[in-house]
Structures are given as structure tokens and as C-alpha cells.
Amino acid sequence: MSFLPGKVPTEVLQKIVFKHLGTKRDDVVLGPSIGEDAAIVKVGKEILVMAADPITGAEEWLGWLAVNVSANDVATCGVQPRWFTPCILLPKGSKEELVEKICSQMDKAAHQLNVAIIGGHCEITPGLEHPIVTGCSVGVAEDGKYVTSSGARIGNKIIMTKGTGIEGTAILASDRRRELLEVFDESLVKKAEKFFEKISVVNDAIVAFKTGGVSAMHDPTEGGVAGGLHELADAAKVGFQIYEERILIPEETRKICAHFEIDPLQLISSGSLLIVAEEEKTEEILSKLSQNGIHASIIGGVTKPDLGRKMVTRTGEKAELVRPASDHLWVALAKPFKR
């Protein structure tokens, strides 16, 4: 079986990866699970929340993304990330300037999140065509004061912050800049690339969690908002119904996706946050997010699993929400230069 680019299929995780997890320990509260963003372990009266992610594209923003993407996963548990450790892999021929760019970006991102970089590794790796940075973020909280994706409950409402396809839009604007400038005004391309600055959902998650009533949160990365919703449903064993017209698609995302003939709902969406909350708390959560300058909207609700995973289209039709086979970023990047 040959895999498409991106995450391996969930059935492979269950069939192979999750069967090789070393020693079983009582202090592991949450180990590898479908739809969960982070691991949780108990240390005394506290818990540590940890998440690791690789950054394999977006060379111009490697360091920035490495810190923010793994920090996002910790924050989806309602926990503030504190520490970060990277592994920087560089191709032969790399120079000091590249190390400086990656490390200075990590430093800037870490300062913005009040995160300490506490160690890591940096090497020249034979066989690499481009640099790769993997990062692990860690946070700490009192035992019991966290949420997981599996906490979504029937009757809860689903809130989405910002818009769909944020990270994918920024990557395409950066990596395919020359092509896009043949089609769009420079101002649109520049604005799209600045979406990298919206990648963090740490504040989104902490504000929502502190407001109360949050049952679950999830960071829709690969597979976009569509993939993220399915992962949430997988973790909680529930269904959902969302409304297409309520999902914000930024103008830049819509135009760039149309150019590459890809679906914005299946485009990597770091920067968006899916918040599942008790219905009576949703308006307060929306108000608190707004007070913090974070746009958010209720896009649907959690349903019984036998009702399926539906999207009501703009025309009022109800259909099963597509489950991405591979993130549409890879679909776009695989296409030849298009004028």
C-alpha cells in the first residue's frame, strides 16, 4: 500500500503504530489516540501535556511554525505551553544564515507565547532536499483541569475561530509566490502570506477554556477543517451537523484555492480552532473571544453518531462531509506552474 503525502491513514495508525507503544504505565493519562492533539501524563498532583509536530514545508517560516504548531496542540487541552525543544535537520551545503533564520524565528515565536526553548538538536542530514524542523511543546496544569477531543458531547455546539485554510493559504502564497503574482495583485499575495502571523491558537484556546463550558477543542491541521471535524468525531464517537454558510473562508483563501482548484475545507488550517461547548455557554465564549480580537462563529453542533457527519450546503442540501484522503496543500503543490 502506497501512502499519499501527509499523515498516514487512521487505519494504519490503529493496525500498526498503536500496537508498538512500549511499556504500559499507570501515569499515562492519554496516550496516542485518533483525533487527539496531545499526550497527557500525570506527575504528582499535576499533569504534563506534550505534543510534537514536524514542519516539512514553508521553508521561509520553518522556525516560526515549529514553535506555534506544537504549542497549539498543547493549548487545545486548555493548557498554556511553557517549554519547547526542537530537532533541526539541515541538508548538505547549509550555511550559518539558514541556522540563524530558523533559530531567530523560533526565538520570536517563543517570546510571543512566553515559552522557553530548553534544549534540542541541530545537524546536517544526508539525503535531505530541504530543511525540516520537528518540535515538542510541553505545558503543565493541575490534574483534572484540561479537556480532550474525546470530551465532545451530543447537544454541544461547535465554534470555529478565524477562518479555514489559514496555514495552507500562507504556505501557497509563500511557496508559489511567483505563480500567484502572475494572476493576482501583489497586495493580495502579501496579505495571504501574512496569514503565517495568525497561526497561533494558544490565546483562542486559553480564553475559551477559562470562560468555561468547553467540552473539547481540536486544532484542524492536515486535512483542514473537514479533516479536523472528522478527527473530533472519531475521538468522541459522535456525529455532527455543520452549515457551509457559517464557515468563514477569507477572500485570499477563496481566490487562491480557486486558482489551484482545491477545496478550502480540505486545506491545512493551523490558525483555526474548533471549540466544542455547552450550548448555554457559547454566547459568552464568543463574546470573550471577540473582546480578545478573535473572530469566531457557531458552525454547527454535535449529534448522535447514527445521524452521520453532515454538512448543510449553501443551497440547503444535506450531505456527508467529505473526509480528506490527503491535504489539498499537497494537491496544489503537486501541480505544475500555472499561468
Predicted local distance difference test score (pLDDT) of residue 228: 96
The yes-or-no verdict on residue 100 having pLDDT over 70 is yes
Same domain for 105 and 182, yes or no, is no
Same domain, 310 and 164: yes
Would you call 195 exposed, middle or buried from its count of C-beta atoms within 10 A (0-12, 13-18, 19+)? buried
In which region does residue 144 sit, left (phi positive, over 0), alpha (psi from -120 to 50) or beta (all else)? left
Same domain, 284 and 229: yes
Res. 338 pLDDT band, cuts 50 70 90: low
**Residue from 232, 228, 235, 239 nearest 267 by CA:** 228
Which of 121, 142, 163 is at the close of a domain?
A: 142
Give me the mean pLDDT over the 146-157 stretch.
97
| Phi, psi values for residue 240, rounded to 5° | -160, 160
**Residue 4 falls within a domain, yes or no?**
no
DSSP states along 48-62: EEEEEEEE-S-GGGH
Is the pLDDT score of 57 beyond 90? Answer: no
Distance of alpha carbon 274 from alpha carbon 333, whole angstroms: 26
Sequential DSSP letters for 64-123: HHHHHHHHHHHHTTT--EEEEEEEEEE-TT--HHHHHHHHHHHHHHHHHHT-EE---EEE
DSSP state of 270: B
Q: Are 201 and 78 in contact (CB under 8 A)?
A: no
Mean pLDDT, range 54-65, rounded to an integer: 88
Helix axes 251-260 and 186-193, enclosed angle (nearest 10):
110
Cell of 279: 450550548
- Cell numbers of 45, please? 498532583
Total of domains in the chain: 2
Strands 46-55 and 274-277: unpaired
Residue 335 has what pLDDT? Answer: 84
The answer on 282 and 162 residing in a single domain is yes
Residue 188's domain comprises 149-333
Query: Is residue 114 one of the residues assigned to a domain?
Result: yes
97 with 243, same domain: the answer is no
Sheet of strand 296-303, all strands in order from the earlier edge strand to the far edge: 214-218, 274-277, 157-161, 296-303, 239-243, 309-312, 318-320
Closest C-alpha among 165, 119, 339 to residue 264: 165
Domain boundary among 124, 142, 160: 142
HSE of 65 in the Cβ direction (CA atoms, 13 Å)?
27
Question: What pLDDT shows up at residue 336?
Answer: 81
pLDDT at 339 (0 to 100)? 59
Answer yes or no: is 339 within a domain.
Answer: no
Convert the pLDDT of each residue in 107-139 to its tens digit.
Answer: 999 999 999 999 999 999 999 999 999 999 999
From 80, 109, 142, the end of a domain falls on 142
What does the pLDDT read at residue 65?
A: 94
56 pLDDT band, cuts 50/70/90, is confident
What is the percentage of the chain residues whose pLDDT exceeds 90? 90
Kindly state whether residues 118 and 241 are assigned to the same domain: no
**Average pLDDT value over all residues in the chain:** 95
pLDDT digits (tens, 9 = 90+) for 174-199: 999 999 999 999 999 999 999 999 99
d(CA 107, CA 104): 5
Give this prediction's pTM: 0.94
pLDDT of residue 5: 79
Q: What is the CATH number of the domain that holds 217?
A: 3.90.650.10
Assign residue 65 the CATH number of its domain: 3.30.1330.10
Taking the CA atoms of 257, 297, 289 and 292 in sequence, report the sign of the dihedral they define. Answer: positive
Which among 71, 32, 57, 88 has a CA at the least distance from the CA of 271? Answer: 71
- Digit-coded pLDDT (tens) for 209-265: 999 999 999 999 999 999 999 999 999 999 999 999 999 999 999 999 999 999 999
> What's the pLDDT at 1?
63
- With respect to residue 3, please indicate whether it lies within any of the assigned structural domains: no
Average pLDDT of the segment spanning 47-64: 91
Measure the CA–CA gap between 17 and 12, rounded to whole angstroms. 7
